[in-house]
A and B are shown apart, each in its own frame.
Chain A
Amino acid sequence: MTTTDFKRRQLSGRGIPVTGNDIDTDRIIPARYLKAVTFEGLGEYAFEDARKQNPEHPFNSPVYKGASVLVVGQNFGCGSSREHAPQALMRWGIRAIVGGSFGEIFFGNCVMLGIPCLVASQADLEWLQKAIGREPQTPVKVDVEKQEVRFGDKVIKATVPDGPRNQLVAGTWDSTAVLLEAGAAIEATAAKLPYVKGY
């Protein structure tokens, strides 16, 4: 595969709004689903308990079936480092997330999976969530490179910090190959550390 397949410049798909702040990764995927040794099949358990407790949960709604752009509030994905959370969302069909802020480990895990997380203003997020609710068939066009999200004829600002944005746009988010390129510089850096070379 070439890096072209990995480039995440623009993504377009129907939106799905999940309102509320501080939605943690336990809520996205309860710990009982961490007991499997693979990530396979996690998609159907995304928001499992929240969906059972709330029949109106967007992930239950047939209207949002097939959506790929998740629009959330503040501090989404806080808490546990479990990659199972973005894995579950990805396997459900989510390709990009727009929110007010993100738990940092969750954000990093999303980058590792090629899922851009974009940050928009509270006012724009509320508008976008309502707009998607009114017109769930209208595509949400996410432009990672230009750092904007288009819905209908409205464009909102949606940022990604330089480093991850460069990785996503260049297709280098799956970082093993890039890190391996450092070659002997890895061992050279280690050899200079007092605790590696011996005190």
Chain B
Amino acid sequence: MARTLLDKVWEAHTVRTLPSGQTQLLIGLHLIHEVTTPQAFQMLKDLKLKVRMPERTFGTLDHIIPTTDQSRPYADPMAEDMAAHMYRNMKEFNLPLFDMSSGKQGIVHVIGPELGLSQPGMTIACGDSHTSTHGAVGAIAFGIGTTQVRDILATQCLSMAKPKLRQVRVEGALAKGVYAKDVILAIIGTLGVKGGVGYAYEYAGDTIDRMTMEERLTLCNMSIEGGARFGYVNPDATTIEYLRGRPYAPAGAAFDRAAAWWKSVATEPGAAFDDVKHLDGGAIEPVVTWGINPGMSVGVSDKIPAPEDQPEAERPTFREALAHMGFAAGQPIKGAKIDVAFVGSCTNGRLSDLRAAAEVAKKGKVASHVRALIVPGSQQVAKAAEAEGLHEIFQAAGFQWRRAGCSMCLGMNDDKLQGREMSASSSNRNFIGRQGSPTGRTLLMSPAMVAAAAITGAVADVREILK
């Protein structure tokens, strides 16, 4: 019987079936960062256990670090304490840490693929929900909690249930000004923020086939926003060429042998799925969220929907969203005034994202009332962008050029919204309070759309600017 990538990778990593009926699943790559690990290391020490496979764990600093002055000690004593714990734990357990001095530091979901650590056929886990990102290379990659981080450190395994598998097929050429971010927002808008609960998503179809690896990373990144704990794209020639020459990818003849195995883990023709959903890629226009979860979105030329048009159970959330955002049903999203523009995050902090934003930034200056931040996803992204002069384009247009980190995606450092500020953001979550202010407001969109909003001072249609 034809098998899926999920079937093959799951089986290869199954240690045994536990008495509970769950699978004891081996984790091939464990990525860790400073925020969700100190308690796990403490639990490990309390249990007097060692790290079972230290060669399979890699760490970085991303969530809490400043994006201005990154020299230590950090100005925020809690951030400094957290970083100090990370350094101490990594040293004590002899684990590699990609810190600022390594030149390889960055958001964990940017550096994993960038360094070639994340490879097809692996199981990858990290104490961060956006671990789904790594599915883009054809891996089973998912977020976990801190106690599960302890389990991986101690046993290299997790107790897991295999999810159902849904194939999400996107077909058709994307229009100019429409990006992978718009595709995933359209998928979530169609299937809902809880549509994926209990499922993994396999993304397929010719739209996905044509996507670059960076686009696929954006796509898989937001699987979790659709309720799916992980999503993946089958490894193909794009995957293999992306990995070639990366520091942690095999080299020489070993690379060719690896590539053969990577291709062999892809879903076979005729394999069965628990269900299949179809989207018309050609019909997607630039998407903007208007509400308080990533499923509350419209095309940029659309109007904000009315609660009365929703199923009854959804109406209270819609009313709450309109009240929080200060929007009225029927209002066009285009023209909504913004205060802050943020390009960055594990969703859209890669070189191609910065290029797309820079192309728009060239067309104008940041509106006088807008604070605009460009935060590269990693030191290597920053370096590559600077080599192309992107930072100069941004700075000339009035954007701030920052150092790598999670930054205003979740506001754990000084990069926060103030009061009810409205943010045009290339990040992944528009939850109430997400960007650091309990009353702050977030409009999710592609990096090009963020740049368009920054220079317009309000939500704008990037297609009109790129014309």
User: A: which residues have CB within 8 A of B?
Assistant: 19-22, 24, 26-27, 30-32, 34-39, 49-50, 52-53, 74-75, 78-83, 86, 101-105, 108-109, 112-113, 122, 161-164, 166-167, 170, 172, 174-176, 178-180, 182, 185-186, 189-190, 192-196, 198-199
Contacts and interface: CB of A to CB of B under 8 A. Distances in A.
Given A34-B35, A193-B28, A196-B56, 16 more contacts: A20-B317, A22-B293, A24-B431, A26-B433, A35-B64, A36-B78, A37-B39, A82-B145, A176-B49, A178-B18, A179-B24, A179-B159, A193-B121, A195-B28, A195-B258, A199-B254
A34 B292 CA distance: 21
A185 B53 CA distance: 14
Nearest to B318: A21
Interface stretch (B122-130, B201-209, B282-290, B330-338): B122-130
A20 B293 CA distance: 13
A21 B313 contact: yes
25 contacts: A21-B317, A22-B194, A26-B432, A35-B64, A37-B81, A52-B438, A79-B225, A79-B429, A81-B129, A82-B36, A82-B145, A83-B36, A105-B145, A105-B229, A108-B148, A113-B147, A162-B20, A167-B20, A172-B19, A176-B151, A180-B154, A182-B24, A195-B28, A195-B258, A199-B255
B197 A104 contact: yes
B176 interface: no
B42 to A, nearest CB: 7
A178 B428 CA distance: 35
Contact of B147 (A80, A102, A112, A186): A112
B146 A83 contact: yes
Nearest to A73: B313
Q: Which range holds the interface residue count of chain B?
A: 35 or more
A185 B313 contact: no
B16 A185 contact: yes
Contacts of A22: 193-194, 292-293, 317
Interface in B404-429: 410-412, 429
Interface of B: 12-16, 18-22, 24, 26, 28, 35-36, 38-39, 42, 47, 49, 52-53, 56, 63-64, 76, 78-79, 81-82, 85, 119, 121-122, 127-129, 131, 142-148, 150-151, 154-159, 161, 193-194, 197-198, 224-225, 227, 229, 250, 254-255, 257-258, 261, 292-293, 313-314, 316-317, 320, 410-412, 429, 431-434, 436, 438-439
Nearest to A40: B39
Given A185-B15, A186-B15, A199 B79 contact: no
Contacts of B227: 75, 78, 103-104
Contacts of B316: 19-21
Given A39-B39, A105-B229, A176-B150, A81 B128 contact: yes
Contacts of B194: 21-22, 74-75, 78, 101
A83 B151 CA distance: 14
Contact of B261 (A27, A74, A199): A199
Nearest to B148: A112
Contact of A194 (B13, B127, B147, B258): B258
A75 B146 contact: no
B21 A34 contact: no
B140 to A, nearest CB: 13
B19 A27 contact: no
A112 to B, nearest CB: 4
Contacts of B411: 31-32
Interface centre among A50, A81, A112 (most CB of B within 10 A): A81
Contact of B155 (A20, A122, A180, A198): A180
A-B complex: 3 closest residue pairs judged by Cβ atoms? A83-B145, A109-B145, A166-B20
Nearest to B37: A37
A22 B198 CA distance: 16
Contacts of B53: 190
Contacts of A52: 438
Contact of A35 (B21, B22, B161, B412): B412
B345 to A, nearest CB: 13
A199 B15 CA distance: 21
B363 to A, nearest CB: 34
